[in-house]
Structure 1
Amino acid sequence: MSTVSRRSALRILAGSSVLAPAVVRAQDSFPSRPVTMIVPFPAGGPTDVTARVLADKLSGVIGHPVVVDNRAGASGNVAAQIAARATPDGYTLFFGTGGTHGANPALFKNPGYDPIKSFAPVAWATTSPNIVVVNPEFPARTLAELIALAKANPGKYNAAAPGHGSTPHMAGELFKVAAGINILHVSYRGSGPALNDVVAGHVPIMFDGVPSSLPLVQTGKLRALALTSLERLSTAPDIPTIAETIPGFEADGWFAVYAPAGTPEPVVTSLNLAVNRALPEAKARYAELGVVTVGGSPEKLAARVESEVRKWSDLVARTGLRGEN
């Protein structure tokens, strides 16, 4: 939407009784001050890394700082609740995940928000595979060897994941069902602490996001066994996919930008345009991290949320998984 058409839309809204005059004036100059982007996991993990790359480029697009605010807790539910209750003026955004807007509504009886009703979709930002990594001393050197070990020793091996209900955790649960194995998932408050324990050998296996694990694979501190995407990454062509062993397996991680429900449509439109302008500028950095930019309309993101909620609801119904507050 051009500047002229956006202002025209605002003038139409200003003449209606739907919006208070103060809100209309705020929209007309949007954005006029820094924007906060709430991130539901601690600094250093894949969610945080991915969010900060986008926040940096988005700051340049809108001409004001986009400040990352990490609010970890309850598998992302704490941050989602804070974001959902924020003033719907476009100055508080939420960097949601496949956990907060896919798995959590199925895992938690009352997560404190509704992934569809509590938020206004802005734009689907990125997608990236999850990755299965192991400590270099772990005996399995391939995914097939890991499956064989787990079948021979049911319940013996632990696998770390960054948060109960996170996309890596859910990818791990889906993998267990698909492979017919029993490994115990241990959830951590973010990727950082979990990776520390895997590197130290306290936990042998981890399901993680690519951005936080790939650098440790490249330096030899971890060994990568497989990716959860259907195809290999161009930036890491030597890492096979789970689908090469279990045909059709797919459980990627994805991130998106939301505003609180009730945010005026012209503001959502402005934010969507800004995110879609920022993503190409972040593409090269994301490629280094094994992340693919997506972009598109709010409607495209809304459809993704609906499909992910269905997917993970089916898995939860099948396995009896429950959330951990």
Structure 2
Amino acid sequence: MNRQAGKWMGAARLGAAAVGCAMAFGASAQAWPSKPVKVVVNFPPGGAADQIARAITGPLQEVLGQPVVVENKGGAGGNIGGEAVARAAPDGYTLLMSSGGMVSVNPYIYPKMSFDPAKDLTPVAAAAKVKVFLVVKPDKMPGDVKAFIARLKADPGKITYGTPGNGSSPHLAAEMFQAQAGVSAVHVPYRGAAPALVDLLAGQIDFAFDPGIAMQHVQSGKLNMLAVGSMTRSPLFPNVPTLDEAGLKGFDADTVFGFYAPTGTPKEIVTRLNTEINKIIGTPAFRERIVAMGGDPSPMTPEQFHERAEYDAKRFGAIIRARNIVGD
């Protein structure tokens, strides 16, 4: 065999091997899922991300034909759970449910993150736009926004508020509120929205920007909702004004929660997940559950979800720099 023929046969073998790998990869993607899928929620149980994840994973496992298991892995503003998924095999069996802040906000407030959300995670599907609601204990704080702001101005640095942690959407909402209202309050960070709500109900803190998990307590009268931190009112509380209407013009603290996968996950799997999740988001059952939290179902393509993250990064990055917000 001459040298030229040997080169040709070697190239042919490499080509055949590449085709074989591509066929095996394609077959693997088409066979997905063949085992349980894990969804890591990067905040503790009971919060908005957890509730949204569980509203979707139940129906999702029915259409996928495999168990879809939720694992809560909170801490560091969502970074612990985010890193766990970023470092997972990109095979479609490990997903992340997160607030948009982990991708759009955390790189600004954690200068030494062990992973890059924009590079190590790929958007799969948005799930819901989450509003925040300014809530207080009726027996401790005034019952309208103007009187509440006046109270904060009268007691600068003495009124406390709780959040799910530094850089979380409720924290950014509170910082935006203080900046626009010209007031100062004491931040008490928690490891999730649910623990902060517990202390608000107990009177340990004075107010919070709630991501929708306090609705039942507002309806029962245990908490008083002063305003909606969005540009639109909530259909659940049509008589409650937005902060924009209350005088803080342009106030919008909405964030989008959704699903991510490790970068490198096959496009076929991402597309399948996006399609199935969007179908679930469009059901009356999901809408009812999310609206009950004060949120809005928000189906998007992966590309639209990515664009939304970039938009949020710009607007929240401005308040982070202005208020010198750093991670826990």
- Unaligned 5+ segments in structure 2 are 1-15
Q: How does 1:192-231 map to 2 (within 5 A)?
A: 192-210=194-212, 212-231=213-232
Letter in structure 2 aligned against 1:236: F
How far apart are 1:19 and its partner, in Å? 5.7
How far apart are 1:176 and its partner, in Å? 1.0
Matched, 1:291 2:311: no
User: Which residue is 2:170 aligned to?
Assistant: 168
Quick check: 301-310 or 109-118, which moved more? 109-118
**Equivalent residue of 1:322, what SS?**
coil
**Structure 1 pair 19–220 and aligned structure 2 pair: CA distance change class (3 A):** farther
Q: 2:186 aligns with which of 184, 187, 200?
A: 184
CA separation in 2, counterparts of 1:85 and 1:18?
27
User: Which residue is 2:8 aligned to?
Assistant: none
CA deviation string 1:147-199 (max 9, x = no partner): 11111211110111112211111111111111111111111011222111111
CA separation in 2, counterparts of 1:310 and 1:304?
10
User: Which residue is 2:235 aligned to?
Assistant: 234
CA separation in 1, counterparts of 2:188 and 2:205?
9
Identity of aligned residues (%): 38
**Equivalent residue of 2:205, what SS?**
coil
CA deviation string 1:183-227 (max 9, x = no partner): 1111101122211111111111111201x1111111222111111
- Count of equivalent residues: 310
How far apart are 1:125 and its partner, in Å? 1.0
CA separation in 2, counterparts of 1:167 and 1:16?
46
User: Which residue is 1:155 aligned to?
Assistant: 157
How far apart are 1:23 and its partner, in Å? 3.8
How far apart are 1:60 and its partner, in Å? 2.4
1:161 touches 1:207 (CA, 8 Å); kept in 2?
yes
1:230 touches 1:250 (CA, 8 Å); kept in 2?
yes
Letter in structure 2 aligned against 1:313: G
Letter in structure 1 aligned against 2:117: P
Two-structure CA RMSD over aligned residues (Å) = 1.8
Q: 1:27 aligns with which of 26, 29, 38?
A: 29
Letter in structure 1 aligned against 2:218: V
User: Which residue is 1:308 aligned to?
Assistant: 312
CA separation in 2, counterparts of 1:23 and 1:162?
40
CA deviation string 1:113-152 (max 9, x = no partner): 2221111111111102111111121231111111111112
User: Which structure: larger Rg?
Assistant: 2
Q: 1:136 aligns with which of 126, 135, 138?
A: 138
How far apart are 1:238 and its partner, in Å? 2.5
CA separation in 2, counterparts of 1:266 and 1:277?
17
- Unaligned 5+ segments in structure 1 are 1-13
